[in-house]
Amino acid sequence: MSGTSELDSTIVFVWNADSGRINSLIDSFHKTFRPSTYGCKLCGLSYGVFGEKKAWKNFLKSVSVPLEFLHRDEFGQG
């Protein structure tokens, strides 16, 4: 039997930020110094000033389906 079933699904997370080192640096400063104006809610949920949040790491470990992470400029390029 071929085809894709619901069990073959992947959860895709899309960062509301562009990829690249310069963008990452700018985003880090923005979310650190003006978090209320930063547009990527996924970033705030998953990362703090010093790295990935423990609750987020635990959530990722608990998910039993494949996960894919993309930046907004990467989304739809596949």
Residue type, 10: T
In total, the chain counts a number of residues equal to 78
Please give the residue that has the higher pLDDT: either 8 or 68.
Answer: 68
**Is 2 a residue whose pLDDT tops 70?**
no
The structural domain count of the chain equals: 1
Q: Is residue 1 part of a domain?
A: no
* Residue 76 domain flag: no
Q: Cβ of 36: how many Cβ atoms within 10 Å?
A: 6
C-alpha dihedral sign at 40, 44, 49, 52: negative
Residues 43-66, mean pLDDT to the nearest whole number: 91
**Strand, coil or helix: 32:** helix
Q: Write out the residue range of the structural domain in which residue 42 sits.
A: 6-71
Asked if the structure places residue 17 within a domain, the reply is yes
Q: Residue 24's pLDDT is what?
A: 87
